[in-house]
Amino acid sequence: MKRTTDGGLPAIREKEALALVTEMMAVPGKSCEEGLIATHIRKRLKAIGIPDAAVSVDAVHKQSPYGGTQGNVIVKLPGTIKAPRRLLMSHIDTVPLCVGCKPVKKGERIVSKDPKTALGADNRAGASVLLNTLIEIQRQKLPHPPLTIFWPVQEEIGLVGARYVSLSKLGSPKLCYNWDGGDPNAATIGATGGYDIDIWIHGIASHAGAHPEAGVSAAAVAGIAIADLVKNGWHGLVVKGNKTGTSNIGIVQGGDATNVVLPELKIAAEARSHDPIFRKQIMEAMRAAFEKAVTEVKSVTGATAKLVFEADLKYESFKLDENEPAVKSALAAIEAIGMPASTRITNGGLDANWLSARGLPTVTLGCGQENAHTVDEALHIEKFLAACRIGLLLATGAV
Ligand SMILES: [Zn+2]
């Protein structure tokens, strides 16, 4: 382990780190509208002497199916020590519920003063870990390997910034760390993969009292398909032999009158599994159930509904080896600040899914978030500060 000149590990200034995250959480920036927070970060970078030439903003929002106004912010610094490049990343968008929040300290936590908003600790806490790390490196003139600091946009709506970032802009990092989540000492080294599925059933409208037989009910088609999935074990928890996954019909929308045979239904669903082949099988079973159901509902003239079934792989699964350098160094950094380190696999999607699937093995660490996406959201101060300490150790290559 490399030490600073006085023999200790590099330290952070707690008050400043806390002021930074408080300020960052107050800046609005829901997905697709990250302009203000990106500007805020760039201002702070300038203030600590990061040259403009080291900062780039891409146009990833132009590739986004959701649109948006802001690209990813990326800082690339040459190393002052010779070692493989390290990447630190953390998304800068929040869920819409956070807009307007007023962060205040309450005991061991920071919470939103307005009971109607969330806090935005997800993920301004992570974004602040990165910024604080750069602030400390500059202030203490700490030696460091080549660094890429990556603030992706549009994580909450589909991991867009990480999915579409041009890898050439990241400078071939060998060790990658992502901050998002709660416990600073749990390293997430794997996650499931999932499809987002959109299903449209275009039936035929008719008067439900006078000529119901002339219509084709989209509700009847959906009912048969969903019953089929449930009966055959393809809905909810899906277990076939030693393969497991999940599926869910999440949204069913359609209809506006009881006296009309329901002509249109839009269904939004998902399918997840760590196993990409099985995940696809679940998705295909859903497609097959709807295709079959369409043939079973006919009008008096033999007409059937039209089905549109679209599946988008929203995030690919990954599982890192425990010997992966990013994993080993992350665990060493956690232990170096005196916390017990552990690894885990999650059933959710992370920006790390896309980077890992695209060839950059990425470990995800927590940064003190609690009850994300709810009005009870809080930032656990000690956990956030621990994440800042770990971030600085990893960025400086101290572990
Ligand atoms: Zn998040």
* Ligand 1 center–CA 156 separation, angstroms: 6
Distance in Å, CA 253 to ligand 1 centroid: 28
Q: Find the 362 Cα to ligand 1 centroid distance in Å.
A: 15
pLDDT reported for residue 347: 85
Centre of ligand 1 to C-alpha 398, Å, is: 27
User: How confident is residue 313, by pLDDT bands cut at 50, 70 and 90?
Assistant: very high
pLDDT band per the 50, 70, 90 thresholds, residue 7:
low
Nearest-angstrom CA–CA distance, 328 and 325: 5
CA of 180 to the centre of ligand 1 (A): 5
Q: What distance in angstroms lies between residue 125's CA and the mean position of ligand 1's atoms?
A: 9
Instruction: Measure the CA–CA gap between 180 and 241, rounded to whole angstroms.
Output: 34
Cα 80 to ligand 1 centroid, rounded to whole Å: 31
* 8 has pLDDT over 80: no
pLDDT value at 6 more than 80:
no
Share of the chain above pLDDT 90, in %: 95
Domains with residue ranges and CATH for the chain: 14-192+317-396 (3.40.630.10), 193-315 (3.30.70.360)
Per-residue pLDDT at 2: 47
Q: pLDDT at residue 240 above 80?
A: yes
Cα–ligand 1 centroid distance for 179 (angstroms): 8
Ligand 1 centroid – CA 252 distance (Å): 26
CA of 269 to the centre of ligand 1 (A): 21
pLDDT-based confidence at residue 348 (cuts at 50, 70, 90):
confident
Stretch 314-328: mean pLDDT: 94
pLDDT of 317 > 70? The answer is yes
Distance 123 CA to ligand 1 centre (A): 5
pLDDT at 1: 45
Rounded to two decimals, the pTM is 0.86
Q: What is the mean pLDDT of residues 367-382?
A: 96
Ligand 1 centre and the CA of 61: distance in Å?
Answer: 18
What separation in Å is there between the alpha carbon of 1 and the centre of ligand 1?
31
- If you measure from the C-alpha of residue 188 to the centroid of ligand 1, how many angstroms do you get, rounded to a whole number? 13
Residue range 92-116: average pLDDT?
95
| Chain segment 41-53, per-residue pLDDT in tens | 999 999 999 999 9
- From ligand 1's centre to the CA of 155, what distance in Å? 7
SS3 letters for the chain? CCCCCCCCCCCCCHHHHHHHHHHHHHCCCECCCCHHHHHHHHHHHHHCCCCHHHEEECCHHHCCCCCCCCCCEEEEECCCCCCCCEEEECCCCECHHHCCCCEEEECCEEEECCCCCCCCHHHHHHHHHHHHHHHHHHHHCCCCCCEEEEECCCCCCCCHHHHHCCHHHHCCCCEEEEECCCCCCEEEEEECEEEEEEEEEECECCECCCCHHHCECHHHHHHHHHHHHHHCCCCEEEEECCEEEEEEEEEEECCCCCCECCCEEEEEEEEEECCHHHHHHHHHHHHHHHHHHHHHCCCCCCCCCEEEEEEEEEECCEECCCCCHHHHHHHHHHHHCCCCCEEEEECCCCHHHHHHHCCCCEEEECCCEECCCCCCCEEEHHHHHHHHHHHHHHHHCCC
Q: How far is the CA of 372 from the centre of ligand 1 (A)?
A: 8
- Taking residues 217-244, report their average pLDDT: 98
Mean pLDDT, rounded, of the chain: 96
Name the residue with tokens 């780190």. 17
